[in-house]
A and B are shown apart, each in its own frame.
Chain A
Amino acid sequence: MMELFGVSVALLALFAGFGVLIGLLFGFFGMGGSFLVTPALMVMGYKTDVAVASGLAFVFATSVIATLKHRDLGQVDYKLGVLMIAGTTAGIEVGKIGLHYLQDIGLADTVVSVIYVLLLGGIGVFITYTATKGGDGGGLSPDHDEADGEINADDIPDIAKKIQSYRVPPMMKLRGGIRVSLWMILLVAFATGLLSGFLGVGGGFIRMPALFYLIGVPVPIAVGTDLFEIVFSGGIGSFLYAMDGAVNLSIVVPLLAGSAGGARIGAAATSLVDEDEIKVYFGVMLLLGAIAVALRKIGTFMDIPVLQTVSLVVILGAATLVAGASWSAPSGRSGRSLTPQRA
């Protein structure tokens, strides 16, 4: 079999192709690709720590590329970013310790799989529900015109207003004219870092909404700051795992090459299609992702090997379905992404 740098060309092509699919989703929706990587690797039979570590390294690299693109837009709150990094680092370390402990007692695969099923399924149901209901994807569709100016008080979610009203010192003044307790920022950072270290995800699909809904940071600044933070959290997380030799470059390198290209195409495609009409596909894809992980787990538990194959087909088919739907969706652009554009 042909090899390149000691790795099968077929395997490199498989990951590059999967990367293109993920990049298309990432570029098109501004989210949704990277947190499919770890479950897909687990479905393919990679050990949990390798799947998590390689997923984190992939997230680190994609956030570097996205941050480079965003730096000129001035949508990064560095003070908030540094605080998030501090809280997230502690969260990642605790998450990593938790994962290793679960691996030692043989429960890592089960627990990570169950959390993935709940997360993917939950977000999938939420997005599908809001899409079919004619909602706006959870209120996070960006208004790019608002850029990074002062946030209008009416635009601050009620929960964030409540949280901002708890004036536990020291209080921090953030961009957009927000004042919030340092402790609340650290709490949000720690919780999302915990998930990053535990699941091998950047945490952006949780942290960005958390910054908006819980702290009240304007969406464009939440996105830019989140990306800045993910560079560090992804970098630290993958570094910690790489010390144990868990980052597999034969996965990360082709995946990233495909994904970076796919993200460019996906971002360009947002100007050509009516995104509102395919939100539902995205929600369905997440639900199928949840089903794939569940099928794999059931296959292992009940010793039904065919379910492993079915699971792999479902997860790759789901990504292909949405990527294909993006291209076949009718023109008539709405001008909005499901979440703010990050790639």
Chain B
Amino acid sequence: MFGLESATGVDGALLVIGVVLLEAIILYVGYGLLERLVGPTLVDAIGGN
């Protein structure tokens, strides 16, 4: 994926782990914003309110 299938060694590992870390931060920020926007509505909907 992302052309990193053959990434090995220290540089390759830094690249692969960097991608994973970047995704985690993006997801934290992205889902956090989404939760703030639609969270209360969604919880009410699931709770049947």
Contacts and interface: CB of A to CB of B under 8 A. Distances in A.
A binds B: yes
Interface of A: 5-7, 57, 60-62, 64-65, 68-69, 235, 238-240, 242-245, 247-250, 252-253, 256-257, 260-261, 264-265, 268-269, 271-272, 327, 331
A256 B23 contact: yes
23 contacts: A6-B3, A57-B17, A60-B17, A60-B24, A62-B24, A64-B28, A238-B20, A239-B17, A242-B16, A243-B10, A243-B13, A244-B8, A247-B17, A248-B1, A256-B20, A256-B24, A256-B27, A257-B27, A260-B27, A260-B31, A264-B39, A269-B46, A272-B43
Interface centre among B5, B20, B31, by most chain A C-beta atoms within 10 angstroms, is B20
B43 A65 contact: no
Given A68-B28, A260-B28, A268-B42, A247 B47 contact: no
A7 B3 CA distance: 10
Size range of the chain B interface in the assembly: 20 to 34
Nearest to B17: A239
Contact of A61 (B6, B14, B21, B43): B21
Given A64-B21, A260-B27, A264-B35, A249 B2 contact: yes
Contacts of B24: 60-62, 64-65, 256, 260
Given A64-B24, A235-B17, A249 B1 contact: yes
B10 A61 contact: no
Given A245-B6, A268-B39, A5 B1 contact: yes
A61 B1 contact: no
A121 B35 CA distance: 35
B16 A247 contact: yes
Contact of A238 (B17, B28, B39, B47): B17
Contacts of A327: 46
Contacts of B7: 242, 245
Interface in B12-49: 12-14, 16-17, 19-21, 23-25, 27-28, 31, 34-35, 39, 42-43, 46-47
Given A57-B17, A235-B17, A65 B27 contact: yes
A61 B46 contact: no
Contacts of B5: 245
A89 to B, nearest CB: 15
A249 B16 contact: yes
A289 to B, nearest CB: 24
B1 A242 contact: no
Nearest to B46: A272
B46 A249 contact: no
Given A238-B17, A260-B28, A253 B23 contact: yes
B1 A245 contact: no
